[in-house]
Amino acid sequence: MRPYDGVIFDLDGTLVENMEIHQEAFQEFLRRHGLPPLDAALRLRIDGKRNRDIFPIVFGRDLPIEELEGYSHEKESLYRSLSRGKLEPLPGLVRLLSRLRAHGIPVAIATSSPEDNVPHTLREIGLLETFPHVVRSDTVPRGKPHPDVFLAAAEKLGALPARCLAFEDAPLGVKAARAAGMTCVAVTTSFAAEDFTEHGAAPDAAVANFEEYLEGPGRWLA
């Protein structure tokens, strides 16, 4: 009997190792606005959050919606420009998706990425048609680390959260998946395995990529 009825993936840093490009875009955004550069402490506070929750932290004040939307458009336009032609799926992802299809297990994306970035990133890695179910954090009441986006993704799959497997690359995302009651595997593209446990987001397993998952915790898909 298969152990899961659905598999839910975060997007940035999980399907694709693109967080360095996001950081490059964010550093340029911060420079333009005379703000301190991004450091490890700030990353732990914001990685995995949606933009409406990130920019008030960065600017240290509440922001009106028009200002939030302007900052989001500016930063994400930088990301799309910098990432064009440079993205590839994480090693093992295509093989994992093929094995899930063979087992009849549906997949979804649960992401804090804003609307324009999702098709851009999926198109760049050649998987635009692979994910019919995408839930963004800006379409649910609360963003990560709350479980809302994962619960909504499970509902789209018609699966109980406890019967879902989630993949995440950030501690806040792992907290969200675990709060939804899902098994969660951390992908260590953005944070070291020990960072998750240190910050109260212990995953069920941690892997460098999906090849490692298939050779280890994912052997059930053989």
Beta bridge partner(s), residue 107: 7
Contact 48, 173 (CB under 8 A): yes
My answer on whether omega of the bond before 56 falls inside 30° of 0, hence cis, is: no
Three-class SS state of 96: helix
Q: Is 116 assigned a catalytic role?
A: no
Q: What is the number of alpha carbons within 13 Å of residue 55 lying toward its C-beta?
A: 19
Q: CA-to-CA distance for 165 and 214, rounded, in angstroms?
A: 14
Catalytic residue among 10, 47, 53, 169: 10
Handedness of CA 108, 111, 116, 117 (dihedral sign): negative
Q: CA-to-CA distance for 18 and 177, rounded, in angstroms?
A: 21
- Angle, helices 65-83/19-32, rounded to nearest 10 degrees: 130
Q: Is 148 assigned a catalytic role?
A: no
- Residue 202's identity, in one-letter code, is A
Helical (H) or strand (E) element with 163: none
Active-site residues, by number, are: 10, 12
